[in-house]
Amino acid sequence: MADQTRGDRFFSFITYSLLILVVIAVLYPLVFVLSASFSDPQYIMSGEILLWPKGLTLDSYSKIFLNSDIVRSFGNTLLYTSLGTFINLLMTICGAYPLSRRDFVGRNVIMALLVFTMFFSGGLIPTFILVKKLGMLNTLWVMVIPSAVSIWNIIIMRTFFQQTIPGELQEAATIDGCSNFQILRKVVLPLSMPIIAVTILFYAVGHWNAFFNALLYLSDKSKFPLQLILREILIQGQTDDMIKASTESAIKQQRAVEGIKYAVLVVANIPMLILYPFLQRYFVKGIMIGAIKG
């Protein structure tokens, strides 16, 4: 710091100030939602919650976990996320590894066809017709098969394999008698944990937050994911069995809805917040793949 010029110090001050503002802008809504979920709904409606909870209560969370729709949709989302992420990862590895091999004939043509699909597709209506013809409407598979692979993630993983896994190492494994599958399982994958962790995180977050496919293809409420139930609560104000109109006044109903909204938001985000620390040590390294070479 002593060797910095006045211009450098001014630049550092501006940079740190902007970063602090960004951190505050990102963290404050999260802290507000968390505080509101533990607060008495009357303080939420009156706008008295700024940072810390007021009238500490767990009533909103008790209403959530007593509601069968939310509990069931939470389980559905866990199933869709775990199964979908497994399929995504399997398909991405199976697509990226061959395309990273220099001895794979026609890899450039196949890569061009894959990239083409990133810019051009059949559209929403043809996709819906295809899903219906395949008999996947209102089934588990409609939530995981149409989004089984991301071309962007294939490109990222292929780049990692090309830049990080030496070709000589794979040639040595071939000389030792390893098949292509053994090379992938015993050599490539153990050395690819950073990109695998990043890919898992990207796919898992995508599945966890997905609601559009469910909105299009699911009509049975028992198969709804959590995000679709959350959408009903936040946008349409449907709280079903959470509040009994015959025993509570309209004002109390509105207060309960306000508390439930924030509590559901917290419950919906906790799993992803728990997942990230376990993958964080790989995330920084994996996210830089393709940004630098060598």
User: If pLDDT is split at 50, 70 and 90, which confidence band does 117 have?
Assistant: confident
- 41's CB contacts (< 8 A; 6+ apart) are 60, 255, 256, 258, 259
User: Is there a domain that residue 92 lies in?
Assistant: yes
Residues 136-189 pLDDT 10s = 999 999 999 998 999 999 998 998 888 888 878 888 888 888 888 888 888 888
Residue 80: C-alpha distances to residues 46, 95, 145, 147, 266 (Å): 38, 22, 10, 11, 19
Query: Is the pLDDT assigned to residue 241 strictly greater than 60?
Result: no
This prediction's pTM: 0.78
Provide the token pair at 46: 């009156």
Q: How far apart are CA 68 and CA 72, in angstroms?
A: 6
| CATH code of the domain containing 125 | 1.10.3720.10
Q: How far apart are CA 205 and CA 294, in angstroms?
A: 30
* Dihedral pair phi/psi, residue 196, rounded to 5°: -65, -45
- 197's CB contacts (< 8 A; 6+ apart) are 279, 282, 283, 286
Q: How far apart are CA 194 and CA 211, in angstroms?
A: 28
Give the count of domains, the chain. 1
User: Is there a domain that residue 33 lies in?
Assistant: no
Q: What is the pLDDT of residue 87?
A: 95
| Domain carrying residue 165 | 57-287
User: Is there a domain that residue 131 lies in?
Assistant: yes
User: Is there a domain that residue 237 lies in?
Assistant: yes
Residues 88-114 pLDDT 10s = 999 999 999 999 888 888 888 999 999
User: Is there a domain that residue 191 lies in?
Assistant: yes
